[in-house]
Structure 1
Amino acid sequence: MSQYNREEIQIYSVDSNDKSTENLALIMKELIRSSGYKIEDIIILCIGSDRSVGDSLGPLVGTMLKEHKVPYQVYGTLETPVHAFNLKDTLKDIKKQFKKTLIFSIDACLGEQNQVGHVLFKEGPLVPGKALKKVLPEVGDYHFSGVVNYIDPLPTMQFLNDTRLYTVMNLAKKIVTIIVQSANE
C-alpha cells in the first residue's frame, strides 16, 4: 500500500462513483499505442495482499482482469498475489521473461479523507509499501493508485483493517473498466 503524496504529478483522477472512465481509458490506450510496445509486452502489475481488505485492491483487479481476458500480461491475483515478500522475485521473473516492457502498476493507497474512493493515474513508478514504511522497489512506467482510506492519528495498520470492502470493490471495478476499455479496438 502506498501513500498519496501531494508533490507527485497527477495525470488523472476519477471518483470511484463517477460513471465516466472513457477519458482515462483513451489516455491509457494512447500511451500504449504511442509507446511502440507489442501488446504482449504490456504488463499490468497488481500489488497487494488478500489478507487485508485495505490492501486487496491489487489482487482483486488482477483477478478481474484475468476474468475479462485482457490481452496484457497480468501479475498479481487473489490466487497468486504479488506483495512485499515476493515483489523482488516477481520483478526478476519479468526481467528474465521480457526484454522490454511497459508496466502499469496498481496498488491501494492512503490519502486524505476527501480523496477516499478516487482512482489516481500517474506517470512514473509506484512506491509500494510507502504508507507502512516498507522499503520496496519502485515499479511501473505508469501507475494506478486507489485511495482506500485516509491517514489519521491511529497506527497505519489500523487503516487497512478499518477499510470498507465496498470502497475497495468500487475502486477495483473502476480500474478494471478503464483497463478493459483501453484494450478494446
Structure 2
Amino acid sequence: MMTTINQVEVSIAPPKTKIHSADPLAVAKFSWDFMLRLEQHGVKNATPKILLCIGTDRSTGDCLGPLIGTKISNTKQNFFTVYGTLDHPVHASNLQEKLKEISHLYHKPFIIAIDACLGELENIGCISLGNGSLQPGAGVNKALPSVGNIHITGTVNVGGFMEYVVLQNTRLNLVMRIANIIAEGLSTAISGYQKQIAQGY
C-alpha cells in the first residue's frame, strides 16, 4: 500500500536534510524528503521541472552532477527536463547561458539544482537536500549565479585547502555511490509523486 504525504508532514519538512550514502535506507529517505519538498512548493504535473545537474566530467570530484543527469536521462522519464549530462555538461563556462535558455523556454520553471560540494571530514559521503538556491563554484572560489528552487548536494571530499586539487583526487567510487543513491531516489520519488497526483492527493 502506498503511503501519501499529508499536510501536517508537508508543513514540518525541514529546511535541510542530511542523509549519509552508507545508510541502508538512504534511497527511501531521499525519495520521501524530495516528495515532501515538491508538495511543499506546490509542484504540479504541468509545472516545468528542470533538473539542473552542475559539474564537469573533467574532474572526478566534480562529475557528480553530470553522472546523475546521465542516469536520469537514461531512464526515459518525462517528469524532469534534464540539463547537465556527461555528454553535455553544465559548468562554470556555460551556466549563465543555460540559465538564460531555461528562462526563455519555460514559464516559471521549478529548478532542482544538483552539485558536488566539499565539506567537513565527518560529512564526506553525505547527501543534503534543502530549500532555496545553491551557489555553484563557491567551493573552488568561482563567482557564479545562485540557482535552484531547491537544491541537492553530495559531499565528495574535504574542503578548505587546495580545492581544485582535492576535487581532482576524489575517489570515483564515492562519487558513483552518491550518484546512484540520488538517481534512484529521484526515480522513486517521480513514481510516487505522479501516483499521488493521479489519485488526487
Tell whether the structures are fold-level matches, with TM greater than 0.5. yes
Question: How many residues are paired up?
Answer: 176
Question: Higher RCO, 1 or 2 (CA under 8 Å, sep at least 6)?
Answer: 1
1:59-78 aligned within 5 A: 59-70=66-77, 71-78=79-86
| Structure 1 stretch displaced more, 15-24 or 74-83 | 15-24
Q: Secondary structure of the equivalent of 1:74? A: strand
Larger gyration radius, structure 1 or structure 2: 2
Q: CA deviation at 1:137?
A: 0.5
Task: Say whether the 8 Å CA contact 1:43–1:103 is kept in structure 2.
Answer: yes
Contact 1:40 1:73 in 2 (8 A): no
Q: Please name the residue that 1:122 is paired with.
A: 130
Is the CA contact 2:112–2:151 (under 8 Å) kept in the aligned structure 1? yes
Structure 1, unaligned stretches of length 5 or more?
1-8
1:170 maps onto 2:147 in alignment: no
Q: Specify whether residues 39 and 60 from structure 1 end up closer, same or farther in structure 2 by C-alpha distance, changes over 3 A only.
A: farther
Measured on the aligned residues, the alpha-carbon RMSD in Å equals 1.6
Normalising to structure 1: TM-score of the pair?
Answer: 0.89
TM-score w.r.t. length of structure 2 = 0.83
Runs of 4+ more than 6 Å apart:
none
Deviations 1:119-165 (A, max 9, x none): 01111101000011100000101111000000254x11111111000
Q: Which amino acid aligns with 1:32?
A: L
Query: Does the 8 A contact of 2:115 with 2:154 survive in 1?
Result: yes
Aligned identity (percent) is 36
**Equivalent position to 1:17, from 7, 22, 38:** 22
For 2:92 and 2:189, locate their aligned partners in 1 and report how far apart those are by CA, in whole Å.
Answer: 28
Contact 2:69 2:82 in 1 (8 A): yes
Please tell me the residue identity of whatever aligns with 2:179: A
